[in-house]
Amino acid sequence: MAYRMVCLMKQVPDTRNITADVLREDGTVNRQALPAVVNPDDLFALEMALDVKDKYGGEITVMSMGPPAAIEVLRDAMSRGADHAILLTDKKFAGADTLATSHVLESAIRKNGPFNLIFCGRQAIDGDTAQVGPQVAEKLDIPQVTFAEAIEFLDQDDIVIRRAIEGGFERIRGRIPLLVTVTNAAANPRPPSIKRKMFWKKAQTRSSVQSEEEGEMLERGLLIPVWGLAEVGCAAEICGFQGSETWIKNVENVKLTAHEPKSFDTSETGIKELINELINEHII
Amino acid sequence: MENGVWVFIESDSGTIADVSLELLWKGRELADQLRCELGCFIIGHQVSDAASDLIAYGADMVCVADHAQLVHYLTLPYTRIAVELIKEYRPSIVLIGATSTGRDLAPRIASHMRTGLTADCTDLQIGEYKFGKRIWKELLWQIRPAFGGNVIATIVTPETKPQMATVREGVFRQPDADPAREGTVVDLKPTLTEQDLIFKIVERVKAEKKVNLKSARIIVAGGMGVGSKDNFELVRELAGVLGGEVGATRAAVDAGFVDHERQIGQTGVTVRPNLYVACGISGAIQHRAGMQESSRIIAINTDSDAPIFSVAHYGITGDLNEVIPRMIKAYKEKD
Ligand SMILES: Cc1cc2nc3c(=O)[nH]c(=O)nc-3n(C[C@H](O)[C@H](O)[C@H](O)COP(=O)(O)OP(=O)(O)OC[C@H]3O[C@@H](n4cnc5c(N)ncnc54)[C@H](O)[C@@H]3O)c2cc1C
């Protein structure tokens, strides 16, 4: 059986290495200054989909909701072996919380047609919520397996998945259609093929190519479809900022009081003083 | 029992998860402030005995869904039972632990109820919210560090119910049991459908929790400044000598220096040891959220401007590769 798969991927600011250059005077992070990367867990999700495709056959459609720049995620996914890519972008999608995001993704998945398996990363490093996957599954009215580490068995509709739980794992058996969220303990993402990378580097959305180039781009398969509100067919009230039920009341800068710790120098004597103080105060 | 505060009680083989009890403690406080009742629901097998404990810990009402096939968490039946309860009792607040179970269940419920959900809150309060001319009294303030440096965001869910939040273990304290407390127990006697059981657990391997950071008196934690997995041995050695546990930042966990269960912070464990030694840790807000209430904090960092120094009681500006061995030596040479 060839499987129809959708992989949901997101572009995120790389919060893994916030260096001093991206900090503002007040200690807040200048988000724009962080490099944009494919959300790390999403690459593991794509790998799991590619593995199903390699073993059993099938087609993978990658979708990413985000600003036009998120096309980079789709180029990356295509270079690694995905079959189709769709960019979900619209001003109306902006400012979405996880609930509003799940509405857009649900509509886009339905619009894309029948599916057997949906993959997403366990969580995105800019929010760490791990909410979007389960919220999409609920909206599609299909089961979910979160924190998946491997698909251990797949035959027609039957599936066995190993998923992480606190301090161990579970093997869980059921039937597809199913949404799976994948952790970084799953098989390592394969690198993009150089050839595909060179090719997909040129991929564009229709709005960003000159009209005289359009025909040729289309013929070569380099035009990445863009779905906005109209194409996705989702009501504006449930998307983006408007569709979000969590509202930000306020954001406060945490003022680190100019509190001075008692300092000790790094010499043996300095450290000895510290250790003695701790011992005298019965801390150690 | 409408408009109450509700807590999902997670249990494993009859033992209630710490985080669920911590949420009962906070839930009690919120319910008292809102002058409403505190309800909770527990789903599992042979969990009926837990009901009286939950009342002793502060619940006014306990709904028990006991069924042999619910012995371990399963997304579909747990969600269905939770959603039916929420529709029947219409709580205004639902709190769930941010465990692997809670993180599977909470978004599923929120999506079904089309309501907001805030993950990994580090505080919950009741307060008002004004937006233009509109004003809401007594909303749940869902407080968490926001990505963007030293900022804390307060999030509200004004227009839909229930207001939902998840919280990690250790953020709130454990309630004291009062065996004299009274409350009601509702036995739900759930019946399960074929659709509920479309997924079954065929094997479950769960090691006893190896690390218990929460109850450690001394924690030596390492960050990216430690440099490598091998070099983390230094941190382990200091922890060993002082009789403490090893902790880490998310960055150090992501880099593979140590296991995820040792992560301290907003999306890890919250700890309050007597002594916290931060080695090569910058002190990002998400990390501080999980350790700043430690009684004593020592910061070792090459950068004297690192934010960790502002929460530290003792500071050493220097290279941990020199400092840690000297600390070990000084401690061994004491007396
Ligand atoms: C949604 C979200 C949730 C998060 N949750 C958490 C969480 O739960 N816990 C958490 O910890 N983080 C969390 N983070 C990440 C957090 O923002 C920081 O990125 C992280 O805490 C930084 O870890 P670090 O201090 O180890 O690394 P860095 O910030 O890279 O700091 C390394 C420090 O080591 C010092 N150093 C370097 N070499 C040496 C040396 N030889 N000797 C001494 N010092 C040295 C440097 O001066 C620097 O200050 C979260 C982030 C997001 C966006």
Tokens 């579909």 sit on residue: B76
* Strand-pair partners of A223: A204
Residue A103: pLDDT over 90:
yes
Write the pLDDT tens digit of every residue in B190-216.
999 999 999 999 999 988 777 889 999
Least confident segment among A12-26, A138-152, A260-274, B25-39: A12-26
Write the pLDDT tens digit of every residue in B65-123.
999 999 999 999 999 999 999 999 999 999 999 999 999 999 999 999 999 999 999 99
CB pairs under 8 A between A and B: 250
Least confident segment among A16-25, A239-248, B251-260: A16-25
Tell me the residue type at B135: I
Classify each residue of A97-124 as buried b or exposed e, where b means 16 or more C-beta atoms within 10 Å of its C-beta. bbbbbbbbbbbbbeebeebbbbbbbbbb
Q: For position B335, what pLDDT does the model report?
A: 62
Nearest to B202 among A173, A278, A279 (CB): A173
Q: Selecting from 3.10.129.10, 3.40.50.80, 3.40.50.620, 3.30.920.30, what CATH number does the domain A3-238 have? A: 3.40.50.620
Contact B54, B24 (CB under 8 A): yes
Q: Which atom of ligand 1 is found nearest the CA of B263?
A: 9
Dihedral-angle region of residue B147 (phi above 0 means left; psi in -120 to 50 means alpha; beta otherwise): beta
Nearest to B203 among A129, A139, A171 (CB): A171
Q: For position A154, what pLDDT does the model report?
A: 97
CA distance A84 to chain B (A): 28
Q: Closest Cα partner for A104 from A66, A144, A70?
A: A66
Cβ–Cβ gap A261/B158 under 8 Å:
no
CA-nearest residue, atom 11 of ligand 1: B249
Summarize the confidence of residues A215-219 as an average pLDDT: 89
CA–CA dist A241, B262 (Å, integer): 36
Contact B35, B92 (CB under 8 A): no
Q: Is the dihedral of CA A267, A272, A277, A281 positive or negative?
A: positive
CA B102 to chain centre: 10
Strands B275-279 and B296-301: parallel
CA distance A66 to chain B (A): 18
pTM of the model: 0.95
Contact residues for B246 (Cβ-Cβ < 8 A; gap 6+): B211, B219, B220, B221, B222, B232, B235, B236, B239, B258, B262
Q: Read off the tokens for A224.
A: 């990445």
Write the pLDDT tens digit of every residue in B6-36.
999 999 878 899 999 999 999 999 999 999 9
Q: At what angle do helices A40-56 and A71-80 cross, to 10 degrees?
A: 40
CA dihedral B32, B37, B38, B40 (to 10 degrees): -170
Distance B284 CA to ligand 1 centre (A): 6
Q: How many CB atoms lie within 10 A of CB A269?
A: 11
Tokens 């059921």 sit on residue: A174
Which of residues 211 through 250 in chain A touch B, CB cutoff 8 A? 244-250
- ipTM exceeding 0.90, yes/no: yes
Q: Decide: B263 in ligand 1 pocket, CB within 6 A.
A: yes
Q: Closest Cα partner for B17 from B229, B195, B168?
A: B168
* Strand-pair partners of A119: A7, A180
Tokens 């490093």 sit on residue: A125
Strands B61-66 and B38-44: parallel
Q: Which atom of ligand 1 is found nearest the CA of B224?
A: 26
CA–CA dist B210, A13 (Å, integer): 33
Does the domain at residues B213-332 carry the CATH identifier 3.40.50.1220?
yes
Nearest to A16 among B129, B254, B274 (CB): B254
Q: Decide: B284 in ligand 1 pocket, CB within 6 A.
A: yes
Task: Give the domain ranges of chain A.
Answer: 3-238
Task: Give the domain ranges of chain B.
Answer: 5-197, 213-332
Q: Decide: B265 in ligand 1 pocket, CB within 6 A.
A: yes
Q: How many CB atoms lie within 10 A of CB B266?
A: 24
CA distance B59 to chain A (A): 26
Distance A275 CA to ligand 1 centre (A): 25
* Strand-pair partners of B93: B5, B163
Nearest to A143 among B199, B242, B318 (CB): B199
Assess B332–A contact: CB distance below 8 Å, yes or no. no
Give all strands of the β-sheet with B38-44 in edge-to-edge order: B117-121, B163-167, B93-97, B5-9, B38-44, B61-66, B184-187
Summarize the confidence of residues B300-323 as an average pLDDT: 96
Q: Read off the tokens for A114.
A: 């029948």
Cα first-last separation, chain B: 62
Write the pLDDT tens digit of every residue in A63-79.
999 999 999 999 999 99
Q: For position B224, what pLDDT does the model report?
A: 96
CATH class of B5-197: alpha beta
Q: Read off the tokens for B84.
A: 């039916």
CA–CA dist B166, A129 (Å, integer): 10
Q: How many CB atoms lie within 10 A of CB B174?
A: 14
Q: For position A27, what pLDDT does the model report?
A: 65
CA–CA dist A25, B45 (Å, integer): 55
